[in-house]
Amino acid sequence: MAPLLPRIAALLPWVLAAVGAASGAVQAASLYVAPVRVVLTPSRPVASLTLGSGEEEAEVAVQAEVMVWSQENGQDIYQPTREVLVNPSIFRLSPGAQQIVRLGLQVPAADTERSYRIFFQQLPRDQALPRDGKGGAQLQTLLRLAVPIFVPPSGASRQDAQWRLQRASSPSSATPGGSGHVLAIDNRGTDHLQLTQILVRREGGAELLRKNLSLYVLPGRSADVALDLPLLAPGSSLQIDAASDAPIALPAATVHIPRADIPSRQ
């Protein structure tokens, strides 16, 4: 896997706002977690994460929960599990404090990589938030941090990414003079792919499009990336270079502008 990102990167995932009165201030905690990815194996079934709170924050309560992570029709799906245990599951963080959270794998490795995520959910205050000077109730913003957990396959890892270029279902997604397409990625390997950049070139090598992203594609699953390409002749060959977190660079792939792009004649 690629080197871990700085721990501050874990501040980016989901931020959930608690429901409250329409008026008043908003309060939010500042939390960070490190590392931002965990790998567990039967030979090394235990790992630790460190969750910390900002110096300026009040005490916060946090719940930790591990979920099985799967994908269906390009959407992430999470379900409760006991395959990876977490301890402690509920704790409090004082201002500037840190909490070590331990993970323990309870199942053997499978033929393909197992995928999980641990969610750190800030809990609402025990008591109602104080009112501001105008008498309105304050809103509390609750943070939710997510860290992926992977269990490598029992056998040798196999990398196999297949690419297909399709027309976008909504032509309006393209800019004037452009053509909306969808690049479909099928992960037929044994490990996840985290795509970080897509580079599209003409067959001769001229760059057409460069798109940064952070897209996970789990083993046996597919994902789509919207591409706004210039108008090209149907059947034109394009080269796809994709950067990912895989230990070995993905080979360049060739796709073609769909023949269905030929406009119908009245």
Position 187 pLDDT exceeds 50: yes
In a domain, 200, yes or no: yes
CB 28 within 8 A of CB 141: yes
pLDDT score at 170: 63
Residues 72 and 196 in one domain: no
**Other C-beta atoms within 10 Å of 77: how many?**
11
Q: CA–CA distance from 202 to each of 181, 207, 258, 262 (Å)? A: 15, 6, 15, 19
pLDDT at 139 over 50: yes
User: Do 64 and 144 lie in a common domain?
Assistant: yes
Q: Cβ distance 220 to 186 under 8 Å?
A: no
Within this chain, do residues 232 and 100 fall inside the same structural domain, yes or no?
Answer: no
* pLDDT of the residue at 43: 96
Strands 139-151 and 98-105, sheet pairing:
unpaired
Tell me whether residue 1 is in a domain.
Answer: no
Summary mean pLDDT of the chain:
82
User: Could you tell me the sign of the dihedral formed by the alpha carbons of 247, 254, 181, 169, in that order?
Assistant: negative
Classify the C-alpha dihedral 218-224-230-231 as positive or negative.
positive
End residue of a domain, out of 102, 130, 151:
151
Q: Does 266 map to a domain?
A: no
Closest among 3, 38, 39 to 153, alpha carbons compared:
39
Domain interval for residue 179: 161-261
Q: Note the pLDDT of residue 205.
A: 84
Q: Looking at the 3D structure of the chain, how many domains does it have?
A: 2
Residue 18's pLDDT is 31
